[in-house]
Amino acid sequence: MQRVISIAEIKDLVGTELGVSKWMDVPQSRIDTFADATDDRQFIHVDPVRAAETPFGGTIAHGFLTLSMLSAMHTDAVPRLREDNFGINYGFNKIRFMAPVPVDGRIRGRFFLKEARLRGPGRMMTTFDVKIEIEGVKKPAMTASWLTVIQFDPKDWPQQDT
């Protein structure tokens, strides 16, 4: 069950790890579905025979597939804000793809709250330093600085400082 916290508690959590998601499977079927959705059918992702001849030794997940799984990992790992009406992606300050995710690998997200600040009445911007780990691999698959905006009722924020 996902932990629920008050928006008033968020400032105390800046500088801490908020959570680690469960391991998520990356089978060939998920890679193929992503390839179909994005029209990115490079052989290293969808052709096991040809990909076996590369230094990867088999197919690998698209970097953008790994990135796209952040939302599900966030939902699994990060406490839900009680007063949150909705949140949206604002963007990324930095994304780095550090290691390939092999077919049938498992990945999980680790979320560190770097910043949370008001961006006007009823809006808070959060910055997460995120690391996506590959089970059994020392080097992360991806690191990112991810910005989101949370919309809430301004009366729910106890202090109006930025």
Q: Are 156 and 7 in contact (CB under 8 A)?
A: yes
Q: Which fold has domain 4-25+69-156?
A: Thiol Ester Dehydrase; Chain A (3.10.129)
Give residue limits of the domains in the chain: 4-25+69-156
Residue with tokens 């959570």: 19
- The answer to whether 3 touches 20, Cβ cutoff 8 Å, is no
Residues 112, 73 contacting (CB under 8 angstroms): no
Residue 104's region, left for phi above 0, alpha for psi from -120 to 50, else beta, is left
**What pTM does this model have?**
0.90
Q: What angle do CA 56, 70, 102 make, to 5 degrees?
A: 15
What tokens appear for 160 in the block? 């109006």
The 10s digit of each residue's pLDDT in 50-61 is 999 999 999 999
End-to-end CA distance of the chain: 32
Q: Per-residue pLDDT tens for 90-148?
A: 999 999 999 999 999 999 999 999 999 988 888 999 999 999 999 999 999 999 999 99
